[in-house]
Structure 1
Amino acid sequence: MNYRELSILFEKLVKNECTEKEADEVLKLLSDRSYDSMFRQLVEKQFQETDEGLILNEESEEALNLQLEAILKSNLPSKKNIKKDFRGLQKWYMAATALLFIAVGAYLFKKNAPQNLVANNHQHKISFGGNKATLTLSNGKKIDLEDAANGAIAAQSNFTIKKTSAGVVVYQANVASGTVSSATAQPLFNTITTPYGGQYEVILPDGSKVWLNAASSIKFPAQFAANERMVELTGEAYFEVEKVFSPQKGSSKHERLPFVVLSGRQKIQVLGTRFNVNDYREENTVKTTLLEGSVKVNTLMEDDQHTANSAAMLKPGQQSDLDGGNFKVNAADTASAVAWKKGFFQFDNEDIHVVMRKISRWYNVQVEYRGDMRGKGFSGVISKYSDVTEVLKMLQLTGTVSFTINNRTIIVS
């Protein structure tokens, strides 16, 4: 669930408009620590919009608790609104109480955050990223997807390319055309590229969905071949692959058309599944995380030091890691792997350079280092839509680094 969807659900909880099913969903999400920062952000926003307000300079934590409880109780449904739905009311109260503790945590985080983060140039506000990308058609024409109007924006190979009001690019087949081309048809390739500070969702000609992270690109034919569907990826993307059956003569009606993802250092063979691929050139490790279905990961060696490629079939909940010549499969933290898609950063004892590259890509900033950064690992979860200073304050809480912002450069020391 992304931030916008969670915001709508949260608003219904606050207004006591949650159904029992929706209250169940809130409780489920509250038990997933990867959503903590989103809930904190929503709670803080609610307090800011409430007459009682959240007094962040309050000295007494006991007084803060009383204040939060008063706001919580003010939202309890009246007896005439309960309608004998005690179970629904009980779940509503459980979810609201859990949010109370999140609110206290948000307050304590703000109270204890270091205040010596300095922005040397206040004229340049560093904004977080958004839906930004460029579509490059096979004829070389480039379309800025952020500025393009909603509706049809181009046509390619029996498909109309549309931009939806939600900021998604969709390849919609024209009447009587298919999702695959004949074996002799010359493919027309399109590319969608996100800049630093950008992300984008595209629905491919076969109906598969792809979410591109910042500084990434995907190249694909406007109409897939009859024997396989192949795309090329740089950077990071999350895939939900549609099941498509082979149209070739002699094929079983239940034979699925393979889907292949080529990245710089890997070839991933897919049938129908949900998975995340992280293959930024500047990162040492390539990570493929499987959430559903099955994929076969093949490494593609680029030098003469390794004579044989490695391969592994992943099961749901597994992640393959390719680090130089070392290839291994481990149990995955799937929430961490797809945190970027859900709208937040999740760091799990990550090296400061890896952390800052993620921040650099999303906020479109430069990073400089002062001093020895070896052995510094960081953990934490925070919304990608927070001000960059809030993200840096979270990292600075460790006491091992400090930050200075100079125009669009973050100096780590």
Structure 2
Amino acid sequence: MEKAQVQYLLEQFRRKALSDAEWKELLALVQQPENEELHEIISQLMAETAAGEDMPSSLGDKTSLLHKILMVDKTLPVKNQSLKRTVNLRRLYWAAAAILIILFCGNYIYSLFKLPTSKIKTSSPAMVVIKPGKQGALLTLGNGSIVNLDSVSNGVVAVQQGKKIVMDHGQLVYDHNASSQDEMAYNMISTPNGRQFSLILPDGSKVWLDAASSIRYPTAFTSKERIVEITGQAYFEIIENSQLPFIVEIRPAGKVSVLGTAFNINAYSSTIRTSLVNGKVKVSDAENASVILTPGEQAMMQAGGRPFVVKADINGVTAWRRGMFNFENTNLPDLLNDVARWYDIEVVFAGDVLPIKFGGQVSRETSLPELLEILKLYGVRYQLSGRKLTILPAL
């Protein structure tokens, strides 16, 4: 490839004047992992363009944005309709950053990989600021009253049967000193889209809820079993008590029985996934067919089907607990389901779904515009109107 052609494409890109064919050509160039000739040409252009000029702060912002998603030590399989290939993210990151250097060192301030305006005819609705999710939840007490926990300060939140429910630095804590004489009552914590929350149950066990999830539990464990019920996704660290088994019900699919252990349950879809971090659990279906998990294993189960065991990616499964999205080996619909829950938006597909597999982990503190800008690198086209994200057909 000639240097003049690369320079021409970059100039057209800067001017927002790329034709459909030129846009596809430029996108294909930055996704060529082993094109040493291209790297050499871009390096020469970088040297010629940036010589003697200061790098504007905008460049640092953009390359930082790129780094959030293009995990440089990962590889990303990209499936095309006619071929299958692997894009090395280190090379993709380098090529995209190189283009930014060429553009920004010339003091041109343009959006990263923005499609020409002639390609998509849209209205210009008022910009809606969409922030990442945060800590917060709704507490439903035994009498049916609801407490919004989004902005509750430290202190007593409620009192039930003489037992205090306390907010302690963003975590809800129940009185551990329950007796068998305590009257039974049930509470529920629910997290809407854009919220996550944690609590300490009456037995001292800890629970973390992801967005669009819930847990129903007694205010005192006074029977022979500690039984809770969840929807969505939850991570548990259970206090060991061999005389009082801990059981998580996921209706209608089945249940998870534990003694003392740490595990994650993802019940967002019809396939329930229970992943064991440490300890030992038994996963049972509605007919009591069961499997035993050891650390690093995952039980998969659907309503009406028996559970089976596969190897778990514990680092990926628990990424949300560390404030990260896990996009490793994730397709576009599943990725956008996570995005929709966390940013509290609606996602609509206006055409065929691109057969892309993503990779890496991304901070949940990343803004939605930053996340969407990066998706453009993979050929994802979209229109954001208010809180509705429409994924457009591929070019």
- When normalised by structure 2's length, the TM-score is 0.68
Structure-2 residue corresponding to 1:130: 134
Identity %: 35
Match for 1:147: what amino acid?
Answer: S
Return 5+ residue gaps in structure 2 as ranges: 1-53, 64-89, 102-111, 117-121
CA distance in 2: counterparts of 1:111 and 1:343, whole angstroms: 28
Structure 2 letter corresponding to 1:260: I
Alignment partner of 1:220 out of 203, 213, 217: 217
Q: C-alpha separation between the residues in 1 aligned to 2:162 and 2:58? A: 58
The residue that corresponds to 1:181 in the other structure is 180
Q: CA deviation at 1:380?
A: 3.1
Q: CA deviation at 1:376?
A: 3.7
Letter matched to residue 256 of structure 2:
I
Alpha-carbon separation, structure 1, partners of 2:55 and 2:188: 48
Native 8 Å contact 2:283 2:307 kept in 1: no
Could you tell me which amino acid in structure 2 is paired with residue 170 of structure 1? V
User: What residue in structure 2 maps to residue 261 of structure 1?
Assistant: 248
Task: Identify if the C-alpha distance between structure 1 residues 124 and 396 changes in structure 2 by more than 3 Å, giving closer, same or farther.
Answer: same
What is the CA deviation profile of residues 329-376 of structure 1, one whole-angstrom value per residue up to 9, with x for unaligned ones? 111110110111111111122232221111111100011111111744
**2:290 maps to 1:311:** yes
Q: Which amino acid aligns with 2:298?
A: Q
In the comparison of the two structures, how many residue pairs are matched?
Answer: 292
Q: Shift of the alpha carbon at 1:115? A: 2.9
Alignment partner, residue 172 of structure 1: 175
Partner of 1:57: 59
8 A Cα contact 2:261 2:280, kept in partner: yes
CA RMSD, aligned part only? Answer: 2.9
Is residue 314 of structure 2 the alignment partner of residue 340 of structure 1?
Answer: no
Matches within 5 A, 1:311-330: 311-323=290-302, 325=305, 327-330=307-310
**Shift in Å, 1:286:** 1.2
Distance in 1 separating the partners of 2:134 and 2:95: 25
Partner of 1:356 in structure 2? Answer: 336
**1:132 CA drift (Å):** 1.4
Distance 1:146 1:322 in 2: 33
Distance 2:325 2:138 in 1: 24
Q: Is the 8 A contact 1:119 1:404 kept in 2?
A: no
2:189–2:216 contact (8 Å) kept in structure 1: yes
- What corresponds to 1:237 in structure 2? 234
Q: Distance in 1 between matches of 2:170 and 2:283?
A: 31
Instruction: Give how far 1:284 is off.
Output: 3.3
The SS at the match of 1:277 is: strand
Name the stretch that deviates more: 197-206 or 374-383.
374-383
**Residue deviations 1:243-301 (CA, integer Å, cap 9, x gap):** 23xxxxxxxxxx43100101122200010111100102xx232111110101100123x
Query: For the Cα contact (< 8 Å) 1:298–1:312, is it kept in 2?
Result: yes
1:108 aligns with 97
CA separation of 1:57 and 1:191: change in aligned 2, threshold 3 A: closer
> 1:105: how far off?
7.0
Q: Which amino acid aligns with 1:342?
A: R
> Which of these residues, 322, 346, 364, is aligned with residue 384 of structure 1?
364
Which one-letter code corresponds to 1:317 in the other structure?
G
